[in-house]
Amino acid sequence: MKKPVFNVRRVVTFVLFLLICIGLYLLALNSYCDQGGNFDLGVCAITSFIPF
C-alpha cells in the first residue's frame, strides 16, 4: 500500500512550528513597539493586547 502524503504527525509538527514562528514574531513586534517604534498599519495597537 502507498503511504499517505499528509500524515497526522507531519501536520501537527507543521502547525506547532507555525505557531512558534508566529509567537516569536509577535514577541519581536511587541519589543519593538515597547521601545518606541511606530507602524502606520496599527500593529503596535494590536501588540498592546499581548500579555508578554
For the chain, the structural domain boundaries read 4-49
The whole-model pTM stands at: 0.65
52 Cβ contact partners less than 8 Å away, ≥ 6 residues apart: 27, 30
Give the closest residue to 50 by CA, choosing from 37, 40, 31.
Answer: 31
Predicted confidence pLDDT, tens digits, the chain (52 residues): 677 767 888 899 999 999 999 989 888 888 887 777 776 667 777 777 777 6
For residue 9, count CB atoms less than 10 angstroms from its CB and return exposed for 0-12, middle for 13-18, buried for 19 or more.
Answer: exposed
pLDDT of residue 21: 96
pLDDT of residue 40: 64
pLDDT of residue 41: 67
